[in-house]
Every structure is written in C-alpha cells, then in structure tokens.
C-alpha cells in the first residue's frame, strides 16, 4: 500500500502515484513503492522504463533480469546513480535528493521476494523475523504493525492492518495523504491479483477509520486507571 502525497513545503502539496508495476503474467511481476525526493524517484522509474525500450543497452532491464535479487540490484544501482548525478555540480538543494524504495515481486520458478532499497544503492531482504517493510513516514503507523501483525494472518486481515496503520499516519501527519494505492500479488501466478485506488470516501476505509477510533477508546477504557 502507498499514499500519493508529495510536498515541497506545506504550500506546495501535490498528488503523485508512488506504486509502479511491471508485469508479464505467468512469467514475472515486479512492483516498486517509492518514498523520498520525487524528482529522484521519477527519474529512477523513467530510467528503468527506458531500458525496457532499448534492451541492447549495457545495463539489463528489470524485465530481463533472471532473479528478483538482480532486479533489486538494478533498482539500487539506478537509484544511487540518480542521487549522485543530481547531487553533483549544480546549485545545492535545501532538501536532500534521497529516496528509498520497496521492491517486491516474483519471477517464475523462484518464490516471491521483498526488498528495501536504500539511497546508497544497497538493500536488505524481508525474512521470517522481519516480514514487512515501511518506507517514508514510518513511525506513526509502526506501533500497531508491531502489536497486531501475525504471520498467520489471512490476506483480508493483513489488508485491514494496512488500513489501520495508514489511518494512524494520516491522522497525525500532513505529509501523508489520500488517495491510497493497494495491490496484492498472487504467488506463483506471477501477476497482480488485486489493484485498487482507495479514495477519501471509500466505504471500507471510512468504516475502518471511524470504528478504529472508537475501538481504541474502548480498549483504552478497558485498562485499569492509574492510582495515586
């Protein structure tokens, strides 16, 4: 799940998609979620796209890479290169050019994999101990993920948890805003299973947001009060 708000100061807020998918159903599906400087992330996505059209380039394309590890490597190299280029020989920017990307997907024959790519170009992979990644404005939504996530959850429950976590962040921080993009990938089918844009008036999101506030207050009231 990703939001769509970007800003260059509070008086310059816009909406941009932060979720990008490359798909050849049955053979591979790759999704990238971006956080950080918009010029950087757009340049990375454009470069990855351009390489698809010029496959004889010295760099392979993400649609030609043979493993998800190679895909993450490609994304990392491209990200590092873009940041290096933008950072050198130009006027200094007030804000850094950094960006972080979550890269997930599957190439047929190997299990699905999930990576977090740093601005330095290196990356880490999700594991049993750390099965999920966040990027960008991560802190507000993290406590509920830590408390409620359970590897035995169904997808329906996991998506509910995403909604609750994003709702906590939306309530607390103006730099994150609706609409949200939601996507699930079907293991071994190597294709997008469900994809939708969650708008401000989305009935399920509205239900979760208002009922979560009430449920939290009930949960809080169920605890014993402090005694002096």
Asked if 129 touches a copy of itself (CB under 8 A), the answer is no
Q: Decide whether 53 or 147 has the Cβ nearer to a copy of itself.
A: 147
Asked if 194 touches a copy of itself (CB under 8 A), the answer is yes
Alpha-carbon distance of 27 to 183, in angstroms, equals: 18
Stretch binding a copy of itself (CB under 8 A), from 1-9, 92-100, 112-120, 142-150: 142-150
Q: How far is CA 40 from the centre of its chain?
A: 15
Indicate the SS3 state at residue 207. helix
**Interface pattern 60-99 for a copy of itself (x via CB under 8 A):** ----------------------------------------
Longest Cα–Cα distance in the chain: 74
Residue 114 gets the label, from left (phi > 0), alpha (psi -120 to 50) or beta, of beta
Min CB(135)–a copy of itself separation in Å? 15
Min CB(129)–a copy of itself separation in Å? 16
Residue 56 gets the label, from left (phi > 0), alpha (psi -120 to 50) or beta, of alpha
Alpha-carbon distance of 29 to 183, in angstroms, equals: 12
Residues in contact with a copy of itself by the rule CB under 8 A: 139-144, 146-148, 154-157, 159-161, 163-164, 168-169, 171-173, 184, 193-194, 204, 207-208, 211-213, 215-220, 222-228
């Amino acid at each position: 799940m990703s939001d769509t708000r970007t800003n260059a100061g509070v008086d310059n807020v816009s909406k941009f998609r932060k979720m990008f998918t490359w798909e050849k159903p049955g053979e591979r599906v790759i999704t990238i979620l971006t956080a950080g400087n918009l010029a950087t992330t757009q340049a990375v996505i454009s470069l990855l796209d351009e390489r698809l059209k010029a496959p004889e380039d010295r760099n392979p394309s993400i649609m030609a890479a043979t493993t998800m590890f190679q895909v993450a490597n490609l994304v990392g190299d491209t990200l590092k290169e873009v940041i290096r280029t933008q950072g050198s020989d130009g006027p200094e920017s007030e804000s850094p050019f950094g960006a972080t990307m979550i890269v997930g997907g599957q190439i047929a024959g190997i299990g699905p994999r999930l990576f977090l790519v740093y601005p330095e170009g290196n990356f880490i992979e999700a594991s049993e101990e750390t099965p999920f990644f966040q990027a960008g404005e991560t802190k507000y939504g993290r406590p509920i993920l830590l408390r409620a996530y359970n590897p035995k959850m169904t997808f329906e429950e996991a998506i509910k948890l995403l909604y609750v976590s994003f709702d906590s962040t939306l309530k607390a921080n103006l730099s994150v805003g609706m609409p949200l993009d939601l996507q699930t990938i079907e293991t071994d089918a190597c294709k997008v299973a469900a994809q939708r844009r969650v708008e401000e008036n989305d009935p399920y999101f509205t239900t979760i947001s208002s009922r979560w506030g009430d449920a939290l207050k009930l949960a809080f009231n169920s605890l014993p009060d402090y005694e002096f």
